[in-house]
Amino acid sequence: MSILVVGSVALDSVQTPFGKKKEILGGSATFFSISASFFDKVNIIAAVGEDFPKKYLKLLKSRNIGTGGIAVNKGKTFRWEGRYEYDMNVAHTLATHLNVFKDFSPDIPDSLRKSRLLFLANIDPDLQDKVLRQMSSPALIACDSMNHWITNKKKSLERFLHKVDIFLLNDAEARQFTGEANIFKAAKAIVARGPKSVVIKKGEHGVIYYSKRSHFIAPAYPLEAVYDPTGAGDTFAGGVIGYLSRAGKITDNILRKSMIYGSIMASFAVEDFSVNRLLNISRADINKRYADFKKLTRF
């Protein structure tokens, strides 16, 4: 099938207990698309500034990612600065400079409006809706969100979620969105509010999938070292949507497998800064971790 992702392409400055990196390639659409590119063709809709390094656009193209929808606008590229302590489940944002991303209001080129799978990364829910209204009936609509929109645009988000097949968010966001401390109650409460299904990402503790018809839980792929968790969630989503696209149809079983592939893609992403580790793996590495995971979890 064909995948469209709408989100950010950014420059990140990241500190973890294992190092400090300045202005490295980041952004939700970046992590998502590189992850998905291992499975199928993906196109990006995003905006960067005039200062965005050409080498990064080249890098995306070299992965056969469609970059025609990345507008280069007057001004500077979106920048995020963050820090992680030893507990890497929590990102401490030091600074967010939206720059050109502040005026991001995506118009989808005609050629991409027929994309079959749509991933709306974490942007204003009103923009997510604006994108969706331009599409001609995608087979699957998935979206992410974050605490900022849950706090400031809850009504918009709730309205939009009724149109969504898979809503992905992390455990803290799920609790915030529903006011439920228990994560399974939260999952149920989210689906009661509109989306067909929800995927709650619990970082090193795995993932929960909940829809009215099916429930799935999986641990995370075990890692002995995590260097930088930035982008793990979007990389996960890229693996999920990428696998679904490659499978060509969506059954309960394919959906479960897609989440394992998502976890495995995320497990690579966090093993180095930026997308560095993702650029150094092959399909064989992914398949090896999938087989390992099967062995690790079977009973």
For binding to a copy of itself (CB under 8 A), which residues are involved? 86, 181-185, 188, 202, 204-206, 208, 215-219, 222-226, 253, 256-257, 259-260, 296-299
Minimum distance of a copy of itself from residue 221's CB (angstroms)? 9
DSSP E strands, the chain? 3-6, 10-16, 19-26, 42-49, 66-73, 79-84, 91-97, 117-120, 140-144, 166-170, 197-201, 207-211, 215-218
Q: Between residues 138 and 262, which has the closer beta carbon with respect to a copy of itself?
A: 262
C-alpha 159/C-alpha 153 separation (Å) is: 10
Q: Between residues 88 and 278, which has the closer beta carbon with respect to a copy of itself?
A: 88
Q: Between residues 111 and 253, which has the closer beta carbon with respect to a copy of itself?
A: 253
Minimum distance of a copy of itself from residue 274's CB (angstroms)? 22
Q: Do the beta carbons of residue 167 and residue 199 sit within 8 Å? A: yes
Q: Between residues 111 and 297, which has the closer beta carbon with respect to a copy of itself?
A: 297
Minimum distance of a copy of itself from residue 4's CB (angstroms)? 26
Minimum distance of a copy of itself from residue 84's CB (angstroms)? 13
DSSP, collapsed to helix, strand or coil, labels residue 78 as coil
Tokens at 18, concatenated? 């294992």
Q: Between residues 64 and 253, which has the closer beta carbon with respect to a copy of itself?
A: 253
Angle subtended by helix axes 54-62 and 28-36, to nearest 10: 30
Minimum distance of a copy of itself from residue 200's CB (angstroms)? 11
